[in-house]
Amino acid sequence: MSKKRNFAPNYALAVLLAAFALGSLSFADDAANVKKAVKRSTLNQPGTKPFHLKATLGPTRERDRSSNRTGEVEIWWNSPKKWKREVRSPEFHQVAIVDGAEEWQANEGDYFPEWLRQAAVALIDPVPYLDHTLKDVGEAEVKRLFGTTYYSWTMMSTDGNITKGMGAGIDITDSSGLLMYGGGLGWGAGYSNYKSFHNRMVARTVSVGSPEVTAQVIILEDLKNVPPDTFNAPATMTNAPLIRTEIVDETALRKNLLPSPPVDWPALKDGPLQGGITTEVVIDRSGKVREIGSILSDNPGLSQTAGKAIVAMQFKPYLLNGIPVQVVSRITMPFSTVRPEGAEKFDSARSYFELGRHAGFPAAGSGAPYEAQGTFQTKLKSGSVADGKYTDTWKSNTEWRREASIAESRYIRCQHGNVRYELAEGPDVPALKMVLKFVEPIPALDTFIESDWRIKRDTVDGIKAIRVLTGAENPDGSLDGSQARAYWFDENGKLLKTYYLGMETDRSDFSDYGGAQVARKISVIRKGEVAMVIHITNLSPAATIPDDVFVLRGHEYKRAFTDEVR
């Protein structure tokens, strides 16, 4: 029996899922926009008024208090070529002075922790490799999401046999034009709590690393009343060896890799048996792996094993001009494993999605043209509750039209031949886009990576089902609303339920149409309450449909940033 829930139409679902309103922004010069945002927040550049800065560092989250990632950064800055910096943590203390071409250091500890180094740099130089990053921005995907513009690209790495990518990007807040996040190999931070300092907008809160550390700027003031010898190195520093950190590509790093035993991959009941793994690594001057980043794996079940194998790697010291340096790089490796004895074997996520589409959606077939009408109720952006309409006219895979409307808003998507169209009008378009998504939620096969999905048996209201899941699942079996996405299919492939961005859809009142079991009722549940109910009130063969129904002149649309088939 289905569970009873209170009905409370909620516009928050439209706000929460505005991600489906993504679109590419038409900037004349994306690199120029990013450069402007970065320069506004960079203290370490010509023209900045000399300053004194002090920040305290500590774990962002309570659960990471045991990480020992605490410390201080203090900087006395006269120009990009004349400054003094002191960093301190429980394991490392450094005083560094730069005066023109001369540089001196006094170090207590043999290893400069990467999280500490990145924090010290990010406080005054949020995108330290700006020229290189601007080249990436010029070829990046550009998305607008929740009031920000996000430039994303992929950094490839290889062990010589397999190649695997890792994401990088920059996020700019549209309203302020300021950097919210930026990250790539060897750099990255989140920025907030901006305040003005002599025509610079400086983030007073900077977050780096994993486990994440937050640096809070407690002093940012004009540089004054400093001793005249502030930027002079004392005699004790003049002959001290320098600790440098270099960004090195994996191919160069692997030339220094010493022989190591093969990885003993465990048997896994879920996910691909073969694939690749990659992560960022930090190696000290002796060749020991000291830090690894988040592991990106074609099978997440192998991440822990991969992490242990990478930490155990040993390298010859990496030399720059004959002197050992710390290295930030990537490690990529293949894996091959087996299923445990007696483990149940499932089809691929792709096969369940394809079967589910044909089992429950007449647009997936090659049958006769049809027309469908539906109604729904939800809360408008204005706060009032209103009734909306949904229509679907289908002639073939390349001749179709879907439309949702409510109050003064409407949203249409259609296709005529190879040309797609989109029309969006009114304040409630985000909610209307979600109506289309809720009616046909199965992702297009060209928009996901098979290895991201895990499959197991489950039940939905007593019905035996197959659950296809990607993202985080909590220890108690609940799903992480910000990351998890799941689909439940019955043994015949019929879609019973979905979960995405913290919202569940329950599909019921199935009826046969052309061999497809179509859900006539779709309930959208958020936080235990029904936020929207969609009723398909009519589904019938279509009479002759003129071609101009599928054309919206002046509203051509390029399918991008969406996983919807139609």
For all residues of the chain together, what is the average pLDDT?
90
Contacts of 434 (CB under 8 A, 6+ apart): 13, 14, 17, 20, 532
Distances from the Cα of 191 to the Cα of 5, 217, 239, 560, angstroms: 40, 12, 37, 28
- Does residue 27 carry a pLDDT above 80? no
- Does residue 216 carry a pLDDT above 60? yes
Q: Could you read off the pLDDT of 519-557 as tens digits, one per residue?
A: 999 999 998 899 999 999 999 999 889 999 999 999 998
Q: What three-state secondary structure class fits 157?
A: strand
| Statement: the pTM of the whole predicted model exceeds 0.85 | no
pLDDT, position 112:
98
Sign of the C-alpha dihedral computed for residues 444, 450, 453 and 459 taken in this order = positive
Q: How many Cβ atoms sit within 10 Å of the Cβ of residue 207?
A: 19
pLDDT, position 13:
47
Share of the chain above pLDDT 90, in %: 73
Longest alpha-carbon distance in the chain: 93
Report the Cα–Cα distance between both ends of the chain, in Å, rounded: 33
Confidence of residue 26 (pLDDT cuts 50, 70, 90): very low
Phi, then psi, of 431 in degrees rounded to 5? -65, -40
Residue with tokens 């054309």: 551
pLDDT, position 394:
96
- What is the average pLDDT across 36-54? 97
- Does residue 50 carry a pLDDT above 90? yes
Give CA–CA dist 112/245, Å, rounded.
8
pLDDT, position 20:
41
Confidence of residue 18 (pLDDT cuts 50, 70, 90): very low
Measure the CA angle with vertex 549, ends 546 and 552; round to 5°: 140
pLDDT, position 462:
94
Look at residues 210, 211, 176 and name the one whose alpha carbon lies nearest to residue 193: 176
Give CA–CA dist 115/89, Å, rounded.
11
Q: Which helix (H) or strand (E) holds 262?
A: none
Confidence of residue 307 (pLDDT cuts 50, 70, 90): very high
- Determine the residue type at 5: R
Instruction: Give the distance, in angstroms, between the CA of residue 178 and the centroid of all CA atoms in the same chain.
Output: 19
Q: Which helix (H) or strand (E) holds 540?
A: strand 529-541
Give CA–CA dist 390/438, Å, rounded.
11
Look at residues 536, 532, 521, 483 and name the one whose alpha carbon lies nearest to residue 11: 532
- What is the average pLDDT across 427-444? 95
Rg (the chain; Cα; Å) = 28
Q: Could you read off the pLDDT of 228-247 as tens digits, one per residue?
A: 889 988 887 878 889 999 99
pLDDT, position 122:
98
Q: Are strands 178-184 and 370-379 parallel, antiparallel or unpaired?
A: unpaired
Can you give 72-99 as a three-state secondary structure string?
Answer: EEEEEEEECCEEEEEEECCCCEEEEEEE
Give CA–CA dist 562/375, Å, rounded.
24
Range 456-460, long-range pairs (CB < 8 A, 24+ positions):
456/270, 456/346, 457/344, 458/488, 460/488, 460/490, 460/496, 460/497
- What is the average pLDDT across 72-90? 97
- Does residue 6 carry a pLDDT above 70? no
Which segment of 205-214, 358-367, 483-492 scores lowest on mean pLDDT?
358-367
What domains can you pick out in the chain, each with its CATH number? 42-129+170-222 (2.50.20), 245-336 (3.30.1150), 347-557 (2.50.20)
Look at residues 167, 341, 315, 183 and name the one whose alpha carbon lies nearest to residue 250: 315
- Does residue 5 carry a pLDDT above 70? no
Alpha helix (H) ranges present in 144-258?
A: 250-254
Give CA–CA dist 485/504, Å, rounded.
10
For residue 498, list its beta bridge partners.
487, 505
- Does residue 7 carry a pLDDT above 70? no
Q: Could you read off the pLDDT of 346-386 as tens digits, one per residue?
A: 888 999 999 999 999 999 977 889 999 999 999 898 999 99
Query: Are 21 and 433 a contacting pair, CB within 8 Å?
Result: yes
Look at residues 62, 60, 57, 124 and name the one whose alpha carbon lies nearest to residue 92: 57
Q: What is the dihedral of CA 300, 351, 444, 403, to 10 degrees?
A: -130
Alpha helix (H) ranges present in 300-452?
A: 303-311, 349-360, 429-439
Share of the chain above pLDDT 70, in %: 95
- What is the average pLDDT across 108-119? 97
Distances from the Cα of 6 to the Cα of 16, 46, 528, angstroms: 20, 61, 8
- What is the average pLDDT across 448-462? 87
- Does residue 22 carry a pLDDT above 50? no
Query: Are 246 and 252 a contacting pair, CB within 8 Å?
Result: no
pLDDT, position 146:
73
Confidence of residue 15 (pLDDT cuts 50, 70, 90): very low
